[in-house]
Structure 1
Amino acid sequence: MASKDSSIYMGSDLIHDYSCSKCEENDLNTEALHFCQQCEHYLCGKCVRNHWAYFKEHVVYGRGEIQKWAGFSIDICEQHGKELEVHCDDHQEFCCSVCVALNHRLCSSTSHLSDLAKGFLKTKRFKQLPAAVDKMRNRLNELKTDRMKYQDSLKDSYKNILVEIKALRKEINQILDKLEKKTVEQLDSMMEDLEKSIKNDLEACGHIDDQLKTLIEKLQQATGKNKDTIPYIGFRKCQSILSEANCLVQEIRVKEEMKFKSDESVLPFLRNLKRFDIVESVFTYVYRVQSLSHYKVRIKKDKNNCSIKGVCGLANGEMVIADYNNLRVKLLNRQYAVIDHCDLPSTPQHLCHTTDNVIAVAVSDFSTINEVHFLTVTKGKIQAMRKFTTDHCCHSIAHHKGQLYVGSSDGLYLYSMDGRLLKTIYEALSCVRTVYSCAVSPSGKRIYVTNDYISKLLTLDKTGQVLFTVEYPDLKNPTGLFVSPIDYVFVCGRGSIAVVQVDKEGKQKVATVASEADGIICPQSVWFSGQTSTLIVGNYEDDDITVIQLC
């Protein structure tokens, strides 16, 4: 095994902290750039290529992993192989005597490491280092696990997209086959008509030809006889048939030809297609807690503990929350203080922002009162506008492009803004609280539904078909749900006391954004601001809302 100690070799006076073991055997002085753990050899760039040729399975570490080299010491200069003695305060670097002589002679401030290290073992910073390293290693391991899962997810996505491309090609082929079949059927029909027309023409020509032949023969036989009337009659009949024949000839001379003329828009359209569709590579930010604060939202008129079942933000930075226990909707300023409220005839189950400064609130006592109320927010005041009644309980509500999605214990319904039931989107009569909360993606293609009874997040398409189901331990009893304008999906699990980020397809969890360890109390509703990276969490049976600054 070669020593790491610097040496002077034949033909060179260069000093290396690690010299190539193979070159040393030939009295050559070459700096080692690699180390093989199995062979315990230091290798230069040339020798490592030969080594890889013979030992492909050996693990070789480069200079970037010098800590794994045999003989590496933490207090030895990686560049010169000398003991580290001082710290250059100007460059914030550890230096050996050679470093100081070559690179740091003109620096204004250097400190001896022995002086800096006095009493450092007893400092709080040093004692906290193992815990900080463990925490970071755990995060790195989580990140590695997430990336591995993401890699598997990418492979699955790749396979699924290939299937979709093949299916699209098959559908296009089927469409083209149908077009070809209909076009050929049209051609066959046209050919049949033309052949029938030709057959009729041939029969007409043969018939007239026979008539003329017979008539002229009889006329010639009658000529020379003493009776003049027969030639005259024959002549007149012959003239009549000739006239008929002349018309037939003129008519048949007009030929009806078949020509194929394709739709001129088809081929240019197909030629201009670069691909069937756009395959998107979607980058998703993963959020973590940076800071967390609690704000009181209870007012003097409240008789019960607050229970915030709905949260939504307005363009001016104000917030509106639905307090289930106290039968009122509250308006918060930018500092999250209650500045106004509006009392309702029954419990507000959920709310959403519709247009401008108008809020829609799902109100229900699950018996006689099942209504959607519209409130308006103007200059720090919140007031009732109008309402409409439904035939089912109103448990949750979401707005998208002038339509309202109202969730009930047995399904999800689509309403117009004036209260007309447009259609039933989704039903699951066997479940309790089928739609605890609902949200719609910015494109309107996906509808997200939480069911706290079965602890699942469902993703539906516009027709109500279930596309994906997400079920995780930290999504126990999912309640609150929010989808941002750029497709970030946040769900809070009241039973698991956590807020989870889900991918926009609703296929899988991206990350646990915040948990009880971060200071979450009992999350029941959630809202997210992409502009400020702020998460607002409404809690169950608690007078505080939780404001989380994310990074």
Structure 2
Amino acid sequence: MAVPGKKMPKNFSSSTSMSSDEYVKVYCQPCDHDGTRLPAHGYCKDCREHLCETCFVFHKRHTLSRHHTLLDKNSMPQTMSSASVHPSQPDLTKPCTKHMKKVIEFYCQNHKALLCSVCVTLEHTGTSCKVNYIPDISDQIINSKEHLDILKSLETITEQCHKKSEDVKKNTAKSNSSLTTVLADIKKFRIEINQRLDELKKQAEDAAKAIHQENNNNLKTVETTCDDVTKSVKKLSDAIKHLNTTKQTDSLFMELKFAEEMIKDYEKSVNQLPAFDVKEYNFIPNKAISNLLDNEGSLGTFTEKSLKDTSPPAVDIKSRQTSHQGEICVKTSKDKRICWIRGMTLLTPDLLIITDSFNNAIKMVNTRSQSVTDQLQLDTTPVDVTSVTDTELAVTLPNKQNIQFISVSSNKLKMKQILKLDGKCCGISYCQGKLVVSFTTPAKLQILNTSGTILTTVIGENIFSKPIHVTTNTNSIYISDWEMKTVTRLNWQGEVIGSYGGMVEPGAITLSDDGTVLVCDPSRNVIEEIAGDCSTGKIVLKDLNSPHALCWCAGTSKLYFSCNTGVDKDNNFVQVFKLL
């Protein structure tokens, strides 16, 4: 690079330019890039460049080059290679992610990080880091092992994406096919319901028709009897009247006596008609059927069928490179006590949500600015938290046996609806429309929908004793049990399909992007990584200060965790580690 304020030697012709190789055979290459050709005074073996007197002195002082090997004018090469005479301009145009107005020029070997000049000055000094200027080392990358390994890794990811896409496509086809059967079953079930209702309807109609027919028969019987009696009475009455008019005394006498006998028979016929109980009717619907239709919320339920064996194979936990990225202070002016961070989740790589049990607070932490941007006060102690959507959270409140839903809008936290539970809840995790909650009293695990309907309950002395935390993916549910000293793996039907022991006090638990499980063990001051099938485990971080809550960011490969020693310097901070 050219040195600011540099002056041309008095004995050097001002007419010398980039094309005057006949005047200067060995010249300063940094100055040559700026269009000024000055005689070489020395040579840097590390940079492989000739330097003028000013650049030579400056090279000794600069942080990045003070340890380079320099040759004076007498020891330096007296010729320049063709590559040096016609150097290519460095292709350094990619902006720094932290300092957008600067471009990336350097690489830190210690932190494996790309840096701009500001990054080098502020965070990667020569005394603590080995920093290289990228053009000095970039020519080594052509056809290198790293180049081939990266391409191979990219090909592997492409193959994995293709396989994943094909698997999902195949399973989606199976799922859609099963849903076609489901729709047919729903239609068939509805037909069966209609048929049964038609049967019940016919029974009711037949009963009404039977009563109707009986009423008509009874009416006909009465009408026939009364009509016959009426005709006989009229005939007899007309005969008596005629005999009386014609003064046929003997016949009248006999007819009257005959009439006396007939009147008794007529009265008997009328009086002997049945006392028909003729009534009016109302229809009262069957309450059981009516209540069933009112109370039932669905025609039925869908049960999941496993399309394939989703159990991940036993894996060997890979060795990880770890580096401490710093810590974030989460204590605020609103806090009256020391912090106790018991739960945490990430909404985005830049937005961390934590629960502070001692201060009854939910806090929003910006990981980029490393500050608490909002704080929601509760009237009870929160324990664990999970993200339901990008704008909604669910928090367990064990003392009230509730789940509190919280919305996130315009960088503000706001309380929404409450879900009532039937025990002292502790851990919580959300996955594909379902909440998984662990309970310490009684010791159990429940799978619920977001409306609070219990889908599955898992309970048993041989399974749980003090299930503290839970985490989930589409294949499995993982629960850390403080008293059983195990991490238990369940499928979504609530069946135990794996268990990992050997821990002293398993606590907070989270899943990495490659399916392994990270678990805090505060008694041993470590964080352990367990295979997805719970077959093996390995310590990834040790010598910690009682790690308590944690979560993983797949986008940045960063692990966030809190500590709980009861000391301000531990409890009031969230630790940030990079795991590669």
How high is the TM-score relative to the length of structure 1?
0.46
